[in-house]
Amino acid sequence: MRVGVLTGGGDCPGLNAVIRAVVRKGIEVHGWDFVGFRNGWNGPLTGDSRPLGLNDVEDILTRGGTILRSSRTNPYKVEGGVDKIKQVLADQGVDALIAIGGEDTLGVAKRLTDDGVGVVGVPKTIDNDLGATDYTFGFDTAVSIATEAIDRLHTTAESHHRALVVEVMGRHAGWIALHSGLAGGASVILVPEKHFNVDQVVSWVERRFEKEYAPIIVVAEGALPEGGEEKLLTGEKDAFGHVRLGGIGTWLADEIAHRTGKESRAVVLGHVQRGGTPTAYDRVLATRFGLNAVDAVADGDFGVMVALKGTDIVRVKLSEATAELKTVPVERYQEAEVFFG
């Protein structure tokens, strides 16, 4: 059997750990051949590929990013895209695909399965917003990076007695903001799932100043003030219809400074959250996902995604995994509010 592997969407710590696990088990246990498709779905669209052997994955466990590179290519936006993929797979003798990605990448995987291509999905996103799995790899690393940044910002905020607004990633789901904010002792946490009242935020900030402490506000990039609109870096959309968000942190810092008369600054963590070495947790989770994806291919169980349920790795239908985003429940956010201010 010859198996193709690709990584789609945004880069994420742990992608290389999945590739390593897939290739090692596939070769050493089953004797399969592997081909890596470059740049997400653009690889099987254009035939851009490379062989993957044991030597190619020997030292990639700790490396961030992906040796196969990535993109946000959507073959269903390309004329004849599905037929091109089928032809490339046939030409290269590929019997099955393992697609590693988030909602967009796995949404394509689901549609390709419906169109007769054998695909197994592996869930990846730092936002942890993919349905049908308790956690995705990359999330723990992103939270750890954001938490370390918040820890460092506490000291500079206290030194200057200023408010600092930390903008983290999270378009529709505030998991990174919630977890890093709680772990970092933030004064306020703002998530996309609950529109915030600026007056309430200012009240929490002022309460913190009254205690002679400098407030730290953690805000997800997709968070919205009541009656407000998303802050966009650009109006352009990618192949999956997403716009680039950014700017809510700067806007909120200006509002706080204006309303309190206190110095306020914004810090945008941006792609720092995606980069670098994955945490031990993400390396282990990614490895387990890769090993179980190989089992699914061996069983001919296509149209599924490997998922974490409790401490077990299970298989779920791609249709279930991509049906809806996993967002922060209101009750989870309300638990955090006791620490605000």
62 is in an annotated binding site: no
Has 127 been labeled as part of a binding site? yes
| Residue 271 marked in a binding site | yes
The annotation status of 162 as a binding-site residue, yes or no, is yes
200: annotated binding-site residue? no
d(CA 102, CA 105): 5
The three-class DSSP label of residue 319 is helix
Residue 222 annotated as part of some ligand binding site: no
Q: Does 103 appear as a known binding residue?
A: yes
301 as an active site residue: the answer is no
How many whole angstroms separate alpha carbon 263 and alpha carbon 162? 5
Within 10 angstroms of residue 114's Cβ, the number of other Cβ atoms is 12
Phi/psi region, residue 55 (left: phi>0; alpha: psi -120 to 50; beta: rest), is: alpha
Distance CA 70, CA 73 (A): 9
Q: Does 38 carry a binding-site annotation?
A: no
125 is in an annotated binding site: yes
Closest CA to 133 of 310, 278, 330: 310
Active-site choice (91, 114, 127, 199): 127
Residue 157 has a CB neighbour count (10 Å cut-off) of 23
- Comparing C-alpha atoms, which of 22, 2, 19 is closest to residue 11? 19
205 is in an annotated binding site: no
Q: Could you tell me the CA-to-CA distances from 287 to 24, 137, 212, 293, 294 in Å, in that order?
A: 10, 10, 46, 10, 11
Q: Is 273 marked within a binding site?
A: yes
Tell whether 24 is in a known binding site: no
* Residue 221 is labelled as binding a ligand: yes
Q: Is 315 annotated as a binding residue?
A: no
DSSP line for 11-27? --TTHHHHHHHHHHHHH
Q: In the 8-state DSSP scheme, what is residue 112?
A: H
Active site residue ranges: 127
Q: Which residues are annotated as a binding site?
A: 10, 103, 125-127, 162, 169-171, 221, 265, 271-274
Q: Which residues are annotated as a binding site for Mg(2+)?
A: 103
Q: Which residues are annotated as a binding site for diphosphate?
A: 10
Q: Which residues are annotated as a binding site for substrate?
A: 125-127, 162, 169-171, 221, 265, 271-274
